Amino acid sequence: MKTLQSISNFAGKYFAFIVILFSVLAFMVPSMFTMFSAYITILLGIVMFGMGLTLKASDFKLVFTNPIPVLIGVVAQFSIMPTIAFVIAYLLNLPPQLAAGLVLLGSVPGGTSSNVMVFLAKGNVPLSITMTSVSTLLAPVMTPLLLLIFAGQWLPVDPMSMFMSIIQVIIIPIILGLVVSKFLPTVTEKSIPILPLVSIVAITIIISAIVAGNKENIATAGFLVFIAVLLHNAFGLLLGYFAAKLFKLSKQDQRAISIEVGMQNAGLGVSLANSYFSPLAALPSAFSSAWQVITGTFLATYWAKRELKNTSASDKPLEVKRVEEF
């Protein structure tokens, strides 16, 4: 178990580079990974099951004790990111599939790796965890609705079908994880140290499968997709920060909301794009999965070195209790 935990820690530390390495390998030898395309939804379900295992009632405590930062953060999440995606897709004149895929990336909830970044940045970790949890639970309604509003001009969107898919791939696995955690706490406790490794393997396979199935598209449109994803992530981090600053939230809250808004659940974006649009539409989410971890790490390192002023004892960073998944 200690060996697996060490491997898990190593994989978590170098997750972005692992994804890049396997993406390059998938591009060069696509036959090694195309077989996994049929299992993308199952793999994402495994990741969300792991999230359910680590969720606690305390993750939602802030919703009742200090709801304003949570409300500001979640509203920013579901307003800033799809709007930015729409504007970028329009200005870059992206093809319909890529435009819809970028909007989809902007419409999914926050990713769990953001919690680790907020911790490293000395931000408000409880706020980060609460935002991730709340936005994930709202995803079955918000993601199809936002897609219908922002992407309907490019591709047909079936919101009810997508609602059911998100319930199946996100909500049900999380509920199952909660049930297992409740009734088999000993098993859950023993499995938690290796959950990040399971999630990293699953996400890496998902992205590699998408890259393998899009070799020709990446060769022709890969740079354009990268620019779109880079701009989307950068403006998400920036505007998320200023949204929190506008409402005069604490420095720690500003850091948490910035990272939460800028880092999306790219795995869900890949799964939904592959199911409802095309493998090409999944490219923005696939590219984002690695890129947002790189930018999140750099931003967290920068903030960690900057002194926090006027920080009350109640706002000090708390240790991350939940094992984060990528």
Question: What does the pLDDT look like over 131-140, one tens digit per residue?
Answer: 988 999 999 9
State the pLDDT confidence band at 319, using cuts at 50, 70 and 90.
Answer: very low
State the pLDDT confidence band at 114, using cuts at 50, 70 and 90.
Answer: confident
Average pLDDT value for residue range 14-22: 82
State the pLDDT confidence band at 50, using cuts at 50, 70 and 90.
Answer: confident
pLDDT at 123 over 70: yes
Average pLDDT value for residue range 289-303: 86
* 19-33, 159-173, 178-192, 227-241: range with lowest mean pLDDT: 178-192
Q: Are 256 and 124 contacting, i.e. CB atoms less than 8 angstroms apart?
A: yes
* 116-125, 204-213, 295-304, 306-315: range with lowest mean pLDDT: 306-315
State the pLDDT confidence band at 54, using cuts at 50, 70 and 90.
Answer: confident
- The torsion angle over the Cα atoms of residues 204, 209, 215 and 218, rounded to 10 degrees, is -50
d(C-alpha 316, C-alpha 14), whole Å: 27
pLDDT at 324 over 80: no
Query: Percent of the chain beyond pLDDT 90?
Result: 33
pLDDT at 309: 58
Average pLDDT value for residue range 308-324: 46
C-alpha to C-alpha distances, 212 to 189, 226, 265, nearest whole angstrom: 36, 17, 21
Q: Are 293 and 99 contacting, i.e. CB atoms less than 8 angstroms apart?
A: no
Segment of 18-32, 164-178, 230-244, 304-318 carrying the highest mean pLDDT? 230-244
pLDDT at 228: 95
CA atoms within 13 A on the CB side of 202: 25
pLDDT at 320: 44
Average pLDDT value for residue range 13-29: 85
Q: Are 32 and 217 contacting, i.e. CB atoms less than 8 angstroms apart?
A: no
Q: Which residue has the higher pLDDT, 114 or 80?
A: 80
Domain ranges of the chain: 38-305
pLDDT in tens, 139-182: 999 999 999 999 888 888 888 898 998 898 888 988 898 888 88
State the pLDDT confidence band at 314, using cuts at 50, 70 and 90.
Answer: very low
Q: Are 255 and 122 contacting, i.e. CB atoms less than 8 angstroms apart?
A: yes
| Chain mean pLDDT for the chain | 85
Q: Are 269 and 47 contacting, i.e. CB atoms less than 8 angstroms apart?
A: no
Q: 319: exposed, middle or buried (C-beta count within 10 Å: 0-12, 13-18, 19+)?
A: exposed
Q: What is the pTM of this model?
A: 0.84
pLDDT at 317: 44
Pick the CATH number of 38-305 from 3.40.50.510, 3.10.129.10, 1.20.1530.20, 3.40.190.10: 1.20.1530.20
d(C-alpha 183, C-alpha 297), whole Å: 36
Angle, helix 266-276 to helix 159-166, in steps of 10 degrees = 130
Tokens of 89: 């897709």
pLDDT at 58 over 80: no
